[in-house]
Amino acid sequence: MTHTKDIHLKSESNINEEDNRLEELERLVESHTRTERHLEQHSDIASSESVHAAKYKQAEREASIKALEEKIICGNQVHHDESEGLEKNYTFAKGYLDHNSEHMDPKSLENMKEKQQNRRDKMDDLF
């Protein structure tokens, strides 16, 4: 009987996890859509710093959306190479920083540098 109960709990846990993933996906897509609409309507009056920051956030959201979609479709059996994704995000953000750091507000710049450090640390842990 314990084995059956464990299977039931695992199934319930998987269902809750999938529900959480779906809610997170929905939240990300809604945020992406709102920001995209805002960029379309107001990019002409927004500062270049705001536009750059919004585009960077959009790229991060798109990567998160793809990762969540893979997890939802494939379940926990995702064979996605996490280090490849980290490297891609790190490289993209490095290029973004190299070209836009002088136009960014200090808080956004500091946040982005912190995220880059976290990515470096995580990549070091994976290798």
pLDDT digits (tens, 9 = 90+) for 85-116: 788 888 888 888 888 888 888 888 898 899 89
CA distance 104 to 93: 13
What residues contact 108, with CB distance under 8 A and at least 6 apart?
49, 53
Instruction: State the pLDDT at residue 99.
Output: 87
**Burial of residue 35, with CB atoms counted within 10 A of its CB: 0-12 exposed, 13-18 middle, 19 or more buried:** middle
3-state secondary structure of 80: coil
Q: Is the pTM of this model over 0.75?
A: no
User: How high is the mean pLDDT of the chain?
Assistant: 81
CA distance 60 to 92: 10
